[in-house]
Amino acid sequence: MLQRYWFGDVDEQGCRAAGTDPAALALRAATLRTGMESYVPIDWEIARDCGVVRTRAEYVDLLRSVCTTLAREKIARSYQARDVELLQMVRMLDELDNVINLLQERAAEWYQVTNPSFSRKYRSLPARKMLDLIRRGARGGLLDVSGEIERLTGTRSRLMREVSARADEVLPNTSALIGGLVAARLLSRAGGLSALARMPGSTIQVLGSERALFSHLRGGTPPPKHGIIFQHRRVHNAPREVRGRVARVLAAKLAIAARLDYYRGEAVPEFLNAAQARIDEAGVTA
């Protein structure tokens, strides 16, 4: 009965070695299909008699390099550092927000000086409207700057869509519960998917509110109910008296979701349905 092993094919007639180059062996091994009915485990001495290796140490060594090569290829195919890139994407997004706000505020100050009728009340306008106003009235440098702000705003919204789509892919379960953008922010604050997957729900609940948390731990102030997860409508739309409960339940489910994302890497509908129901339940006022 023919047995197809990583180092060659073996049957009653003998052994046909597949060479000793790890890369070539890995390439061949990736195509091997074995049925388990007539399978016989390897006797490494066949590989020696076949001329592939001389000693047991050489056998294990060669096998290790073939398996390592295969594993590396599989890893590369399966995620290509997609969460690492997501981390950078979301940090860039937050940085863009900062920069846009700064520039916008400065532009408003400038514009106010050149145009005294642009008084305080305009400052409460939505950013976009205010920018339009400035662009219509400004000249020279200020006009250039407001053009840049406009462009940055466009960049920001494109990047935001990209972050959201990437998060759906890298964090399918977490994103399903809390939305891609907030999921990506949690990932960024935790420092990576493996770190997030190891966090307890109570930590996830207050991620992003470290200042309030430590001020509470030092004593005197009430504990924070929520950090980044407040950005999700489920938390900030919840009635005040149940907001803490919603945040807590949501965070507990997010901890499970992050582990599913890390260890399984795909959406798990049964979990998601049950979790959604539980979170909705937490938001019901008595």
Partner 1 sequence: MIRLGNVLVSPGEGGVYGERTLDGYRVWDPYRSKLAALYTLGGGLDLTPGMRVLYLGAANGTTVSHVADYVETVYAVEFAPRPMQDLLEVARRRKNIVPIMADANRPEEYAPFMEAVDLVYQDVAQPNQVEIAEQNLAFLKPGGHLILMLKTRSVDVRRDPEEVFAEARAGLEQHLDVVDVRWLEPYHHDHAAIVCVSSIY
**Which stretches of the chain bind partner 1, using CB under 8 A?**
4-6, 29, 32-36, 39, 41-44, 60-61, 63-64, 66-68, 70-72, 74-75, 78-79, 193-194, 262-265
Q: Between 67 and 133, name the residue whose CB sits nearer to partner 1.
A: 67
As beta bridge partners, residue 15 has 10
Q: Between 32 and 217, name the residue whose CB sits nearer to partner 1.
A: 32
| Assigned token pair, 196 | 């997030």
Smallest separation (angstroms) from partner 1 to the CB of 63: 6
- Among 253, 249, 203, 195, which residue's Cα sits nearest to residue 224? 203
Residues 143, 107: Cα–Cα separation, whole Å? 9
Smallest separation (angstroms) from partner 1 to the CB of 35: 7
Give the count of beta carbons closer than 10 Å to the beta carbon of residue 272: 17
Decide: helix, strand or coil at residue 8: strand
Q: Between 35 and 126, name the residue whose CB sits nearer to partner 1.
A: 35
Give Cα 106 distance to the centre of its chain. Answer: 34
Residues 232, 225: Cα–Cα separation, whole Å? 13
Sequence-distant (6+) residues with CB within 8 A of 258 are 171, 173, 174, 186, 193, 196, 197, 199, 204
Length of the chain: 286
Q: Between 192 and 283, name the residue whose CB sits nearer to partner 1.
A: 192
As beta bridge partners, residue 17 has 8
As beta bridge partners, residue 8 has 5, 17
Smallest separation (angstroms) from partner 1 to the CB of 91: 20
Q: Between 66 and 93, name the residue whose CB sits nearer to partner 1.
A: 66
Q: Between 34 and 202, name the residue whose CB sits nearer to partner 1.
A: 34
Smallest separation (angstroms) from partner 1 to the CB of 64: 5
Residues 191, 188: Cα–Cα separation, whole Å? 5
State the sign of the Cα–Cα–Cα–Cα dihedral 57, 62, 63, 64.
Answer: positive
Smallest separation (angstroms) from partner 1 to the CB of 179: 23
Q: Between 78 and 285, name the residue whose CB sits nearer to partner 1.
A: 78
Smallest separation (angstroms) from partner 1 to the CB of 67: 5
Smallest separation (angstroms) from partner 1 to the CB of 148: 39
